[in-house]
Amino acid sequence: MADKQSTKPPAGTRDFLPDDIRRRQHVIGVVRDVYEKYGFEPLETPAFENIETLLGKYGEEGNKLIFKILRRGEHEKSGEADLALRYDLTVPLARVVAQYQNELPKFFKRYQIQPVWRADRPAKGRFREFFQCDIDALGSMSPVVEAELLSAVAEVLGRLGFHDFEIRLNHRRALTALLECAGVPESLHADALVAIDKLDKVGVEGVREDLQSRGVDAAATMACLDFFTGLTTEDPGRYGALERLRTFVKSHHAGPAAVDALVEIVALSDRTAAHGRIRVDPSLARGLSYYTGAIMEVAVPDLAGSLGGGGRYDNLVGMFLGRDVPACGFSLGLERIIVVMTERNMFPAAVSGGPVDIMVTIWNDASRADALTLAAALRAGGLRVDVYAEADKLGKQFKYASGRQVPFVAIVGDDERERGEVAVKDLRSGDQTSVPRADAARFVARAVRRET
Amino acid sequence: MADKQSTKPPAGTRDFLPDDIRRRQHVIGVVRDVYEKYGFEPLETPAFENIETLLGKYGEEGNKLIFKILRRGEHEKSGEADLALRYDLTVPLARVVAQYQNELPKFFKRYQIQPVWRADRPAKGRFREFFQCDIDALGSMSPVVEAELLSAVAEVLGRLGFHDFEIRLNHRRALTALLECAGVPESLHADALVAIDKLDKVGVEGVREDLQSRGVDAAATMACLDFFTGLTTEDPGRYGALERLRTFVKSHHAGPAAVDALVEIVALSDRTAAHGRIRVDPSLARGLSYYTGAIMEVAVPDLAGSLGGGGRYDNLVGMFLGRDVPACGFSLGLERIIVVMTERNMFPAAVSGGPVDIMVTIWNDASRADALTLAAALRAGGLRVDVYAEADKLGKQFKYASGRQVPFVAIVGDDERERGEVAVKDLRSGDQTSVPRADAARFVARAVRRET
């Protein structure tokens, strides 16, 4: 049954071989561990939703990118779709909040790490199947929520080994106030935000051109840029922008309150794992129009783009309930974090090393049972142990183990068996030591600890 | 934007709320841990495959149960499907083996724990989205493979707390020999296997009727049943069936070799974690026609059906390579294991208990920063800590924590703050103790250990 068809994974998707999965499991394990330490609870939803749950939730572009599943059975030929693959983790959260409103706690803090699917044109670093890693805290408008969220994210990144990240913080209503005070008409706010968001990439001149090409008049452009130019030339430190912002928006009806909200979040965060990580950045806009309060983004110096971002969005999660539900969330860029950690060689040896600590060789067919006895003893001693599948030349067995980065092999030849011993060979140094069977597990455990 | 549409998950799928996920993560964690201790390596493949990869691999019935995804873009209206959701973990494994043949080790031992999707009619306990949990060892015909597989499975079940399971073991070629020696014509073997497989459910009389209704003549039926009747009335012990089987099939060209293979697996397994768990059962048939050697199934006494099963299937994994690849696999019934463990109350307290160890209350708005400082200290001491989101009546905060099964709350009122203390309240006993701030983490950690 030879078959000439392609055995590649579908376009835009990936097979994760063992080394990939070990890296992913390491990152996901840290994320889970930290989020649970902060009282976030795990949630998982089905890979597909009824199609009407998703359609219309992501705009016209989004609708086109949703993978749709054919209705089964006799209807299959009609081409009708009744299910669709999960497109993000927020709409399923909104559905869950409506469905289980009487079972969920008043302040529902959940994390969710699952793949989503988008029929985007595949490109380098852009996939049709990728993992999202979201935390959201629902039910409260208190700034404690933002502070806890930022602390959890900072602790995740620290535990993963990032020591140079910065959390940019802004407030959506502060941005609105800033634009209004600068004289940008409300109809151009969305356009202006897109332009301003690029300040750290294209600089003041780039933003000026962009604002004007989007129809913002010269006076308003000048007023905006004066504000930002002052910020960038003065280097206001982490929080200095707050005072400049307060002065600029003091006449706006919502401006001072937005600045106060930022001050509060910054003050609370100073008591947490996010201490020293936050920089108030009035130019941070983030594309999504659904944010209503604080917005945040995490970046490392050598990486264009972010490791994650989020903010407060009080009008979205209640979409199926028909009422607002306060919400603040953060999405870690799992795929990106893994890429950066791989490039920077940040994975611990246990993750990037071999699959097992030792491989038990098989001397001959008659000694297979003895090999399994030894393997059982080594495993009982806490070791990860592979057994070569069949009797074969020892050299071939060593080479196989080396090729899989297994550091040690165990050999029980006729002599060793007679003496009740096992020979442990270090495949990197070539050293071989005979030890009594009863001591083998302890001996190897010590040797493994020394090597890693 | 109120919306009257259903917020239930699609038919045949489930939302997994936090308690569900904690149980699933516990089981999956043990499975992973043990499988990795045996040198099995993790693999994950995309949720969907190119449709031609799946079509024709699961028979006509299977084809109908495959979820098909519409081709995107302008073709969407044609109803053409070009992708399909993963239906099992074996065909993706076969594709991976072909695609990465030069990168994978000669003996590729992988585990894979991922959902699969089948458009079955939903029913109690039958889902359209469910997890499979497979291990497969490829590349060797040695009985060491079967022994290692059975040992790993036995260790998983033991670690999960199953102490009453039995592994039924048989050999596909022994079954063939048995049927031929009994005089069942080859054309009726498949039918006869289905009938015999039900022996432990319907008894000898039930099997007799079934065999005859399927066209097996009286003499062959009698010969078969004589063999099994002897087994069931004599209670041959774990391995006694081997001798009866050897006698019965001794004239068959492949019979004695199949019995020898079973003897070898049993002898090797006696040295492993599967020791005392295996019962040779010549009536075990398992439905799938692709098995070529040993077949096995795990059962517990109070459960109809099995907790998992598998066997050797040397002709399947090479389907995309155009050559045979020796393979032996086992699939744990993850969903079933979770149901049984829930019914039997087998989950440890840490899994079925509350989401965090302690909740920090908020005395008033001015003390929010102090509450976060305390939370950071408690987390640094290794505790899982929630912070109530806002200042509120203490009674309401206590009630909220109780409702979420949180065992302790921390209170820092004005008095405590003045004295540099924190009050720790045990919500179950009502006891409240004031301790110095610096000792709080240690105090709570000890108290939590006492409670669980």
* Cβ distance of B45 and A139 shorter than 8 Å: no
| Beta strand ranges found along A335-388 (DSSP E) | 358-360, 385-387
A18-343, which class in CATH?
A: alpha beta
Please list the residues that pair with B432 across neighbouring strands. B425
* Cβ distance of A47 and B129 shorter than 8 Å: yes
pLDDT category, B2, cuts 50, 70, 90? very low
CA A168 – CA A160 distance, rounded (Å): 19
Residues spanned by CATH 3.40.50.800 within chain A? 355-451
pLDDT (tens digit per residue) in B229-243: 877 666 667 788 899
Give yes or no for a contact between A210 and A198, defined as CB atoms under 8 angstroms apart: yes
Give yes or no for a contact between B119 and A48, defined as CB atoms under 8 angstroms apart: no
Residues of B in contact with A117 (CB under 8 A): 47-48
Find the closest chain A residue to B25 by CA distance.
A42
The amino acid sitting at A35 is Y
Q: Looking at A149-153, A287-291, B157-161, which range is the least confident one?
A: A287-291
Q: What is the mean pLDDT of residues B424-430?
A: 96
Residues of A in contact with B267 (CB under 8 A): 369
Residues of A in contact with B78 (CB under 8 A): 79
pLDDT (tens digit per residue) in B322-334: 999 999 999 999 9
Longest dimension (CA), chain A: 94
Does A2 score more than 50 pLDDT? no
**SS3 sequence of B272-316:** CCCCCCEEECCCCCCCCCCCCCEEEEEECCCCCCCCEEEEECCCC
Q: What is the mean pLDDT of residues A418-439?
A: 96
Say which CATH topology domain B354-446 has.
Rossmann fold (3.40.50)
* Cβ distance of A144 and B110 shorter than 8 Å: no
Please, what sign has the CA dihedral across residues B418, A264, A91, A24?
negative
Residues of A in contact with B53 (CB under 8 A): 5, 7
Give yes or no for a contact between A58 and A87, defined as CB atoms under 8 angstroms apart: yes
pLDDT category, B3, cuts 50, 70, 90? very low
How many distinct helices (H) and strands (E) make up chain A?
17, 16
Residue B76's nearest CA partner among A363, A57, A69, A402 is A69
β-pairing, B109-117 with B41-42? Answer: parallel
pLDDT (tens digit per residue) in A226-243: 998 877 666 667 788 899
Give yes or no for a contact between A266 and A169, defined as CB atoms under 8 angstroms apart: yes
Give yes or no for a contact between B42 and B111, defined as CB atoms under 8 angstroms apart: yes
Residue A395's nearest CA partner among A414, A411, A416, A376 is A411
pLDDT (tens digit per residue) in A180-210: 999 999 999 989 988 988 888 888 899 999 9
Give yes or no for a contact between A215 and A191, defined as CB atoms under 8 angstroms apart: yes
* Cβ distance of B389 and A140 shorter than 8 Å: yes
CA distance B444 to chain A (A): 14
pLDDT category, B288, cuts 50, 70, 90? low
Considering the entire predicted model, what is its pTM? 0.94
pLDDT (tens digit per residue) in A334-383: 999 999 999 999 999 888 888 999 999 999 999 999 999 999 999 999 99
| Beta strand ranges found along B23-159 (DSSP E) | 41-42, 48-50, 68-70, 81-85, 109-117, 129-138
CA distance B296 to chain A (A): 19
β-pairing, A358-360 with A408-411? Answer: parallel
* Cβ distance of B107 and A389 shorter than 8 Å: yes
Residue B303 CB contacts under 8 Å (≥ 6 apart), including other chains: B336, B340
**H or E, element range at B328:** strand B327-332
pLDDT (tens digit per residue) in A46-79: 999 999 999 989 988 899 999 999 998 766 677 8
A355-451, which class in CATH?
A: alpha beta
Residues spanned by CATH 3.30.930.10 within chain A? 18-343
pLDDT of residue B236: 65
The side-by-side arrangement of strands in the sheet containing A385-387 is A385-387, A358-360, A408-411, A421-426, A432-436
pLDDT of residue A3: 47
Backbone angles phi, psi at A111, to 5 degrees: -120, 155
Residues spanned by CATH 3.40.50.800 within chain B? 354-446
